[in-house]
A and B are shown apart, each in its own frame.
Chain A
């Protein structure tokens, strides 16, 4: 077993107005050699004058990284010849850096780690040399800009951790306002050192890697380097201590062909600058520069506003977004809807227009007003989207736009009632039918009112008013025709059928409310084990449409038992936040009872009856009813038990997610962040089929051959749900009969492994060496989620994004 050690050297250009030792503008992208003067050009006779602002920013960063701040920090000369370094020495810090012994906490795939900061020191940047043909050109605009170097201890283990640290660091410096953290443009740079050794052998020979221009390259380069060194050691070789450059075109590191590694920098204290002594006034300025950091803000957003991790993560990513959000909340907006609008429609619009939130015409006041109009029902969702777009176009307030465009809904019950009265009067037959127990004409009547109001009636209010005027409650029962509606054929086998007539079945059921009006909708006729993406697409689009048009007060889905745990969790990820109840139920045996006979009611009838009751009176959102029991939609496991001569099925919830039926305890649903319009059946079907083609469920077993999974990957599988043993263990031994080859191939090709357990166990990769190896290879623990729930989440996550890292983020946010 090998251990790897990674340390980083991060450089950031401090965003000061002027350079560190002269009055030149510290700006980028200007005409070459336009921001220069005798001091930063190293003319004879000039002297450096320390920029106090650079010093303040440097101490703020050191303080934020929990460093011990030096009361006296000393500049030194680092001597080396390079044409882009005007003085041929760099003023830097060596023996007495401004900050030491700090730390930063990171987390990758559930594993938390404290990375020690060795030191933080301030120095001047060099210019840029460009080779053009047989010429070498020099631009000194950058020479003398303040550069802060942060050196970590070799506390990181894998490239992904370095990537996480860099992303976190980038966000930190942006929050502090000391750097824009742009790695591509070089305002933030990173060098790394890597060593690999046998476990327990301490650090190995250190290899430095340079030219890492993005956090993604850092990850790739480090993982490449770790396996390169491992290979050398495995072959009995010795790793050469050297500096290597990452070649981003070839995805390999190459030895740097120069004698530069033999540098002797001949440091000595800079005689032109006295030591910097911190006084109380300066330290006070440093304290003033501290801000609430992204990690703390994320936790606070989750706790204070009840946001999901993913929502909080999105909001805190940029300080300006977080502040916009909080400003909006302070104006009385609902945190949930503010967060989801910002993450979806607002973000889309800003991206499309290439604007940033702080520079756009959408200010928190306008945004809060839009949410208020929506909340008060004065506009509905579709109109709200149009209003938002119009804010950007006409630079006006939402209220003014609604007025000008005549988009305001009729939300006054009295006004709406007048329209309803007229429609009911004009359609006595339909009214009579409903009173007699038929649900179908309700939809017709709703449509008539909509027509009369030119579509301005607020749909939910309209639904409520008509229902109460007619004294009915409409529940739609959607059926796939599984066993619950199936038939026992002549040969004794159970086959799919059409849902029986519920009105007849429920005729004697006194437990059902009198105002109940059921509408049965047959979506298919097959057993639940036969379900295909097209069927799910139908189900999803039918439910979505009913929610949007307020056609029903509740929805019941009559399903089979075999795949109920998939469909239930799938619907939850989509509709977990719906404002009406969506209740799934199932039966493993068909309704054998003789119609109207006195025989005890079948399981199918009993379950549907319970589901209808739950839909008519229960809480909004997705639930499951089976055998007179209510279940949360996640982590369901169907089990068969022998009950005397009869076989019966039971459902059980693993890991007790939301065991107390409190939806607040469930991981947050993903829709409406998903990118597909759920009412669009065709689009949903295509998206589901694409998603399905990219993922696969695999169960670990003794002697499993990793190369079989490679075959799957070669055939387009990008995501695995990997069902491991216990808390996340499996064989990763150096043998074809383990997961190792598959994990390594996957890591190299960007394939994700989301790990669940074959047992009722929480997967966190704790405790075992094999678990840690899995973590090292990049496998992602799914915590409490079962294989079924993780799988459907993976499907929905893919609808939200094609980007694999984004999918990973969604999967990890539970």
Chain B
């Protein structure tokens, strides 16, 4: 399959484009698709290109809140509907330098705010496994495009689970790296202290190569850094099977399923999964993440607070949607924002403004920061006992479009497994673990900071037991004869 992907743009770009358009007419993963726009860009850094030869020639999708020069950068919002990016995000530039080719921009919940991609103002995306179901979010377009065989990998952004949850819903791998290891330059900020660019793929080698290429300090992002393996996990090395890891069995922390409020299908898959790891020789140990119940409120307090400032720049003055006429600058700003933002975005801006009000910061924002520290400490303590923690990615499988299955409030609460990794800044990987009743279920592995190699190694181990399935009708890449 990889051989096909490496040559598709060179050999049959037209057939590829045609096939993608045909498939995407059903699932709606791309907001903009043009496989030839960045074709022929010579790889920049030869060293990187050689080292990650696996990426050379691969087309990839980019969530439409990550900048790609020559493509739009809509963030799924009316307010940026026609905004063209004048520059590449660092992650995109590094992939181009490694020989990969960005072919289009994928749909998302507006500004990354949502768990379904139904909050996009510009397109609707549906789950390749069943069109009645949502694809997850907010990187839903990226997950759908990968699951439907439109691209071998796609970039997403993960603020509270936005890469992992749709990956889980679509039966593909989704990696959220350690906060700061991937430059955020070019990622449109939702919640700056939580945002990280991640990758989605069906192939662990590709996923690992993408991670290695896009990670590393960037002078344009002062919060970025090179991955620094700490003493406790310096034995981690890419490509080393985790069996025999550190000379003894790797130890997996698990949570008591009955406390996790899981759907029957997810609970069952979780059980099967940890039995599977046991059978592979992993030690399984119960850990208690006592702060887990605070994750969702803390996450939404911090994320909305930062969002209220991050989204303030969209005012119709310098770019973006603006009314035809306004009486004065103040009215221009008001009308632009009123017409440009969707309901969920407005809700979160208001919430963030509320928690930052002077006199209320102690009660909300500062308190949330304290709990965030406690969550981080909680994880540190757990990682003193176990090497990784296994949780479900999301408490249930994909839900149907519309609010019948899951209200927006329930969707927010369900972010607790994924958002905990963002609050702690640690890496997490969602991997496919089963397809009960025709919809995929993903499991999540969490590791201490810079423990990405360990996560990938464990996922490889599990793949020996369970080979991820592709959505029916999408078993072969788009355009393959």
Given A44-B83, A49-B222, A86-B313, verify A266-B188 contact (CB < 8 Å): no
- Whether A138 pairs with B317 at a CB distance below 8 angstroms is yes
A30-86 CB contacts (< 8 Å) to partner B: 38, 41-50, 77, 79, 81, 83, 86
Given known A-B contacts A88-B312, A138-B317, A271-B193, A81 and B333 have beta carbons under 8 A apart: yes
Q: B318 touches which one: A45, A81, A86, A136 (CB < 8 A)?
A: A86
B317: chain A residues within 8 A (beta carbon): 83, 138
Nearest CB in chain B: distance from A272 CB, A = 5
B413: Cβ under 8 A from any A Cβ? no
Q: How far is the CB of B122 from chain A (nearest CB, A)?
A: 15
Q: What chain A residues lie within 8 Å of B223 (beta carbons)? A: 47, 271-274
* B residues near A38, Cβ cutoff 8 Å: 86-87
A140 nearest in chain B by CB position: B318
Which of A42, A44, A274 meets B73, CB within 8 Å?
A: A44
Q: How far is the CA of A49 from the CA of B333 in the complex (A)?
A: 27
Given contacts A45-B188, A49-B219, A49-B220, contact A268 B67 (CB under 8 A): no
User: What 1/0 mask marks residues of chain A from 248 to 283 whose CB sits below 8 Å from any chain B CB?
Assistant: 000000000000000011101001111000000000
B357 contacts A by Cβ under 8 Å: yes
A532 at the interface (CB under 8 A from B): no
Q: How large is the interface on A (under 10, 10 to 19, 20 to 34, 35 or more residues)?
A: 20 to 34
Cα of A44 to Cα of B187 in the assembled complex, Å: 8
Report how far A38 CA is from B219 CA in the complex, Å: 16
> Most chain-B Cβ atoms within 10 A of its Cβ — which of A43, A44, A81?
A44
List chain B residues, Cβ under 8 A from A273.
222-223
Residues of A with C-beta under 8 A to B309: 77, 79, 87-89, 266, 268
Bound form: Cα–Cα A401–B101 in Å: 74
Report the bound CA distance from A651 to B319 in whole Å: 84
Q: Is the CB of A83 within 8 A of B329?
A: yes
| Interface residue from A45, A49, A50, A138 paired with B85 (Cβ < 8 Å) | A45
**In the complex with contacts A49-B220, A49-B222, A44-B315 CB distance below 8 A:** no
Interface string of A648-678 (1 = CB under 8 A from B): 0000000000000000000000000000000
Q: Tell whether B431 is near chain A: CB-to-CB under 8 Å.
A: no
A79-B185 contact, Cβ under 8 Å, with A88-B313, A272-B192: no
Proximity bits, A433-477, B CB within 8 Å = 1, else 0: 000000000000000000000000000000000000000000000
Q: Is residue A129 contacting chain B, with contact meaning CB distance below 8 A?
A: yes
State whether B308 touches A79 (Cβ < 8 A): yes
Contact bitstring B302-324, A, C-beta under 8 A = 1, else 0: 00011011001111011100000
The answer to whether B313 and A47 touch across the interface, beta carbons within 8 angstroms, is no
Q: Are B184 and A47 interface neighbours, CB within 8 A? A: yes
Residue B358 at the A interface, CB < 8 A? yes
Tell me whether B85 and A83 are in contact (CB under 8 A). Answer: no
Docked Cα-Cα span, A274 to B221, in Å, equals: 10
Q: Is B365 an interface residue (CB 8 A)?
A: yes
Residues in chain A near residue B20, CB distance under 8 A: none
* A746–B23 CA distance with the chains assembled, in angstroms: 87
Can you list, as one digit per residue, whether each of B180-204 has a CB less than 8 Å from chain A (1) or not (0)?
A: 0000111111011100000000000
| Cβ B333 vs Cβ A44 within 8 A | no
Find the B residue at minimum CB distance from A272: B192
In the complex, the answer to whether B89 meets A79 with C-beta atoms within 8 Å is: no
Taking A79-B356, A266-B357, A273-B222 as contacts, is the C-beta distance between A47 and B318 under 8 angstroms?
Answer: no
B66 interface hit (Cβ, 8 Å): yes
Q: How far is the CA of A129 from the CA of B67 in the complex (A)?
A: 29
A271 proximity list for chain B (CB < 8 A): 191-193, 223, 306
Q: Tell me which residues across on chain B come within 8 A of A79, comparing CB atoms.
A: 308-309, 312, 356
Looking at the assembled complex, report how far the CB atom of B159 sits from the nearest CB atom of chain A, in whole angstroms.
Answer: 12
Measured in the bound complex, the distance between the Cα atoms of B90 and A47 in whole Å is 11
Cβ-defined contact, B83 with A45, below 8 A: no
How far is the CB of B2 from the nearest CB of chain A, in Å?
30
Q: Which residues of B are found within 8 Å of A49, using beta-carbon distances? A: 219-222
CB <8 Å contact, A45 and B186: yes
A137 shortest CB reach to chain B, Å = 10
Q: Which residues of B contact A272 (CB under 8 A)?
A: 184, 189, 192, 221-223
Q: Mark A157-184, 1 if CB is under 8 A from B, else 0.
A: 0000000000000000000000000000
Residues of B within 8 A of A41 (CB): 318
Closest chain-B Cβ to A177's Cβ sits at a distance in Å of 26
Known pairs A44-B67, A266-B357, A271-B306; A50 contacts B86 (CB<8 A): no
A109 to B73 alpha-carbon distance, docked (Å): 63
Q: Is B11 an interface residue (CB 8 A)?
A: no
Q: Is B414 an interface residue (CB 8 A)?
A: no
Report if B481 contacts A (CB, 8 A): no
- Which residues of chain A have C-beta atoms less than 8 A from B66's C-beta? 45
Q: Which residues of B contact A44 (CB under 8 A)?
A: 65, 67, 73, 75, 80, 83, 85, 188, 313-314
Residues of B within 8 A of A140 (CB): 318
Inter-chain CA distance A374–B162, complex, in Å, is: 84
The answer for the CA separation of A138 and B316 in the assembled complex, in Å, is 13
A45 touches B315 (CB 8 A): no
Q: Which of A43, A45, A268 lies in contact with B365, CB distance below 8 A?
A: A268
B353 within 8 A of A: yes
21 A-B pairs whose Cβ atoms sit less than 8 Å apart in the complex: A41-B318, A43-B86, A44-B80, A45-B89, A45-B185, A45-B187, A45-B189, A47-B220, A49-B219, A49-B220, A49-B222, A79-B312, A79-B356, A81-B333, A86-B318, A87-B313, A88-B313, A89-B309, A136-B328, A266-B357, A272-B192
* Sample of 5 more A-B contacts, CB < 8 Å, known A44-B188, A44-B313, A79-B308: A42-B318, A45-B67, A45-B185, A83-B329, A83-B333
